[in-house]
Amino acid sequence: MASITFSGTGRHVLPPVMMVSSNNSGNKVDGVSIRKGNRDSVVTNVATTHRDHLQVATIDQKKQLVVPADWENHVAWKSIPQERWEGELDVQGQIPLWLNGTYLRNGPGQWNIGDYNFRHLFDGYATLIKLHFSNGQLIAGHRQIESDAYTAAKNKQKLCYREFSEVPKAENFLAYIGELGNLFSGASLTDNANTGVVKLGDGRVVCLTETQKGSIIIDPETLDTIGKFEYSDNLGGLIHSAHPIVTDEQFLTLLPDLINPGYLVVRMDPGSNERRVIGRVDCRGGPAPGWVHSFPVTEHYVIVPEMPLRYCAQNLLKAEPTPLYKFRWYPESKGFAHVMCKASGKIVASVEVPLFVTFHFINAYEEEDEDGRVTALIADCCEHNADATILDKLRLQNLRSFAGEDVLPDARVGRFIIPLDGSPHGKLEAALDPDEHGRGMDMCSINPANLGKKYRYAYACGAQRPCNFPNTLAKIDLVEKNAKNWYQKDAVPSEPFFVARPGATEEDDGVVISIISEKNGGAYALLLDGSTFEEIARAKFPYGVPYGLHGCWVPKK
């Protein structure tokens, strides 16, 4: 393997040892192996170019290694240094004594196999973090999820499954033909459950991604991988929404149908592995269903968003990523919102809406007239101004290279107004002035007691510009239409997750948990007061924790 160090004049801290690697002869970070005791010597096989103040070192295309000179400092985009860890953290401030339980956060935390570097944020192998709160104390830990994709990569030291942007290279033509077969059967799709984690009504904790096979049961205490969550029905299909709606009573999700463009709306009861069909929505645009990373519900309805960013079979088959990865933007196919009655499965509205791009719905509720009749549904989401280029902005090279440059596309709280009176069109507008949260907005949570109901507060990551990635935590007041923002220079915070105080009557009575990755290689757990949005406690990790995606709360039994 090429032994490389960084060119340029800056000092480089020796990065930590990587796990997906069998070679212990040198230190490695994201596959970059560095000769011990000789950290500032010459790069092998690497060309250095200068872009403004940044030095970008690139290696040959086959290895895809792109190492900006300063990326090694920001721990947000750096693979986690070891496979597992657990220990008590020193707490500055006061953890509320009522906060007893475990916060779990999932996300892609390992972006390399040996010296092979992944390209996209969403490619990384799932890293599960826990923060266990008990009587004011905090035990933290992390562990890699043992998916088939991760285990195979570790054992064979190569990519074996199709990730978000990474595709295993076929060794010859026959292998390529076999690969195509594997793609159609789903065998080559990843089960790398790196996106979310949910606690089902029966207590099982499941990590999820977009593939159905990437539903993996874990132990919330030890973070052990228990095994696959096998759906026992015959509904088939390969993908589902990465964000099911999960309550103590039910699990609702969408199964996109790529053959006959549409979606099945399905429900699963606690204790069961069998999903039952509530109803089906046929797409109104084509040629494929829109990507449904998430969807919203109200008390009585499921809203099926049909986004013009649609799954794309050709792109799924390609060996090299396209700018929109497995998707394609079809503005001419338009955007729609379909409304299905949860009880009957009937579609009660299907309206055309302005073009939109969203990964995450925040919440939805029913608007009533004075006689209590539901006249419209309101659905809020993190909306990227109908600009799908956000996907490419989340390439690791962009995240690592453009820190501090104002390249994050604008985003807003997109509010859909979906009439139920038979009108053919719905509306989409900003729920508040996007400048309130720096025109950046994603990774949201609410008080779960308000799921599907009229609500006032959303917590999300926002932006303090200039930035290339959301870098604040925002408490958004949808009634007063303003936001409180938490910001710390060079910090990359993950999704602010709201935990309600037991017995609370106010919507924002609780704490907000986030994990902050720091430029200097550090990381800490942060607790903000859900009401004042002031810091109440922080606890430093003894090692760098990268950025992660979504979390859940497992209360003490």
Ligand X SMILES: CC1=C(/C=C/C(C)=C\C=C\C(C)=C\C=C\C=C(C)\C=C\C=O)C(C)(C)CCC1
Question: Which parts are annotated binding residues for Fe cation?
Answer: 243, 293, 360, 550
Task: Choose between 57 and 391: whose C-beta lies nearer to ligand X.
Answer: 391
Taking alpha carbons only, the member of 264, 446, 462 closest to residue 361 is 446
Neighbours of 57 (CB within 10 A): 21
C-alpha dist (Å) from residue 516 to 156, 285, 474, 496, 542: 33, 40, 14, 10, 13
Stretch that binds ligand X, among 186-194, 248-256, 343-351, 500-508 (CB under 6 A): 186-194
383 binds ligand X (CB under 6 A): no
143 binds ligand X (CB under 6 A): no
CA torsion sign for 458, 464, 468, 472 is negative
102 binds ligand X (CB under 6 A): no
Contact code string over 271-290 relative to ligand X, x by CB under 6 A: --------------------
Asked whether the beta carbons of 426 and 353 are under 8 A apart, the reply is: yes
Contact code string over 306-345 relative to ligand X, x by CB under 6 A: --------------------x-------------------
145 binds ligand X (CB under 6 A): no
Structure tokens of 457?
A: 């507060």
390 binds ligand X (CB under 6 A): yes
Neighbours of 460 (CB within 10 A): 26
Place of tokens 């910001």: 487
Q: What are phi and psi of 194, to 5 degrees?
A: -105, 15
Q: Which of 30, 210, 366, 383 binds ligand X (CB under 6 A)?
A: 210
Q: Which of 102, 106, 117, 209 binds ligand X (CB under 6 A)?
A: 209
How many degrees, rounded to 5, is the angle at CA 412 between CA 407 and CA 414?
145
Residues in the chain, how many? 557
For the chain, first and last CA: distance in Å? 49
Q: Which of 211, 212, 241, 472 binds ligand X (CB under 6 A)?
A: 211
Which residues 423-462 are close enough to bind ligand X by CB under 6 A?
Answer: 440, 442-443
Q: Which of 118, 122, 329, 459 binds ligand X (CB under 6 A)?
A: 122
Task: Choose between 210 and 507: whose C-beta lies nearer to ligand X.
Answer: 210
190 binds ligand X (CB under 6 A): yes
Give the C-alpha separation, 511 to 504, whole Å: 11
Task: Choose between 186 and 419: whose C-beta lies nearer to ligand X.
Answer: 186
- Which residues does 394 contact at the CB level (< 8 Å), separation at least 6? 120, 121, 122
Task: Choose between 189 and 458: whose C-beta lies nearer to ligand X.
Answer: 189
Strand-pairing partners, residue 368, are 374
Place of tokens 């160090």: 5
Task: Choose between 46 and 467: whose C-beta lies nearer to ligand X.
Answer: 467
C-alpha dist (Å) from residue 359 to 171, 290, 443: 35, 11, 9
Give the C-alpha separation, 139 to 46, whole Å: 42
Size, binding site for ligand X by CB under 6 A: 20
Stretch that binds ligand X, among 48-56, 188-196, 347-355, 503-511 (CB under 6 A): 188-196
Q: Which residues are annotated as a binding site?
A: 243, 293, 360, 550
Residue 327 CB, shortest distance to ligand X, in Å, is: 7
Give the C-alpha separation, 8 to 384, whole Å: 37
Residue 316 CB, shortest distance to ligand X, in Å, is: 7
Q: Which of 194, 212, 350, 471 binds ligand X (CB under 6 A)?
A: 194
How many Cα atoms occupy the beta-carbon half-sphere of 74 within 13 Å?
Answer: 26
- At residue 188, what is the residue type? S
293 binds ligand X (CB under 6 A): yes
Q: Which of 149, 268, 307, 411 binds ligand X (CB under 6 A)?
A: 411
Can you give the binding site for ligand X, defined by CB under 6 A?
122, 163-164, 189-190, 194-195, 209-211, 293, 326, 359, 390, 411, 440, 442-443, 470, 549
